[in-house]
Amino acid sequence: MKVVAPSFEVLDNLDNESLAVRIEFCGRICYKSEDKIDRESALPFVSKMAEHGHNSVLEMGVVTFEITCAHYHQINELFLTHPRYLQIDRSGNTLLVTGSVRAFRELLMFHPDCALVNAICSFLNERHPYFFSTILPKNGFKDTSDISVTKLELSEVDKLPASVYEHHRHIAVKFIVNRAVTHEIVRHRPCSFLQESQRYCRYSDDKFGSEVTFIEPMFFEPDSDEYAVWQQAMIDTEKMYLRLLQTSTPQAARTVLPNSCKTELIVYANLTEWKHIFKLRTSKAAEPSMREVMIPLQEDFTQRFSAIFS
């Protein structure tokens, strides 16, 4: 068995990657198949996700648009679709809209007559056809020449006024923490999540070192009796897990795995939601192992986005 410290990484390196590259990077955490990433792998991977409807993976790429409509009714029509997964700010006939690939795809699937949805999706489809190939409207996109759609580069999003910026700027964080902490983080509904799957990962495989990895518990001093009890419990658990794997699947064997198991989780959210998460998860009432990662992460965010977090 292996014991590691909890950690986090702000995935800002993905912010300037293409949608396909960032979606692949995040998606592969589920299968722990990051070793399969190469220069050619992103498009086949995201096409497969879109085709098979593994839609939560498609939440890991968001795009911000500035959209100007010729008519007010085109904007009203968009609001009538109840677009709860879009961030929208409005100034007259101009909208600032941020959404994930999944949000735009599903708007097209369920509201194919909405002109604004057609304008956004036809813009995206021209640049990223692999996201739409299986859901294209039978008679093609509607003529939306009276709607102007411009994609905002991240550098332009970063210049938005703070009150607008915090809704549109999304940031992903990868956590390596125990299963109890991830169970709590995934309660935050406005986020998108992808998590290492204990159903797919077989920890007896060579790529996992044929062992189970646990997170160092912050509750017990390393030389204490309590630590020794915890350590023995993990050793016994690992033995039982590996024994069960000889005759059953990972999803069956994992039923003996404890909260201390190491899990990787990517959380993708806008800055408004991160503010909410920090408020709840750094307070004295929060679980100590949660505070162990959230307090330093909040400090990191305060340095990066001082206008929002200081």
Whose Cβ is closer to ligand FAD: residue 32's or residue 188's?
A: 188
**Per-residue mark of binding to ligand FAD, 154-173 (x: CB under 6 A):** --------------------
Alpha carbons 245 and 220: distance in angstroms, whole number: 30
Q: Which residues, numbered 255-294, are part of the site for ligand FAD (CB under 6 A)?
A: 276, 280, 285-286
CB 1 within 8 A of CB 214: yes
Q: Which is nearer to ligand FAD, 137 or 190 (CB)?
A: 190
- Does residue 294 contact residue 7 with C-beta atoms inside 8 Å? no
Beta carbons within 10 angstroms of residue 55's beta carbon = 15
145 contacts ligand FAD (rule: CB under 6 A): no
Annotated catalytic, 281? Answer: yes
To the nearest 10°, report the CA torsion of 299, 302, 305, 309. 130
Two structure tokens written together for 162:
């703070």
**Nearer CB in complex with ligand FAD: 159/189:** 189
Residues in binding contact with ligand FAD, number by CB under 6 A? 8
Structure tokens at 207: 């790529």
The H or E element spanning position 72 is helix 72-79
Among candidates 6, 9, 4, 10, which has minimal Cα distance to 289? Answer: 6
Q: Supply the minimum distance, in Å, between the C-beta of residue 83 and ligand FAD.
A: 15
| Contact pattern from residue 183 through residue 212 relative to ligand FAD, giving x for each residue in contact according to CB under 6 A and a dash for the rest | ----xxxx----------------------
C-beta of residue 214 within 8 angstroms of C-beta of residue 3? yes
Contact 78, 114 (CB under 8 A): yes
> 190 vs 258, which CB is nearer to ligand FAD?
190
Shortest Cβ distance from residue 280 to ligand FAD (Å)?
A: 4
Give me the half-sphere count of Cα atoms (radius 13 Å) on the Cβ side of residue 182: 27
112 versus 190: smaller Cβ distance to ligand FAD: 190
Q: How far is the CB of 276 from ligand FAD (least distance, A)?
A: 5
Catalytic residue, candidates 28, 169, 281, 291: 281
Where on the chain is the footprint of ligand FAD (CB under 6 A)? 187-190, 276, 280, 285-286
Residues labelled catalytic? 281
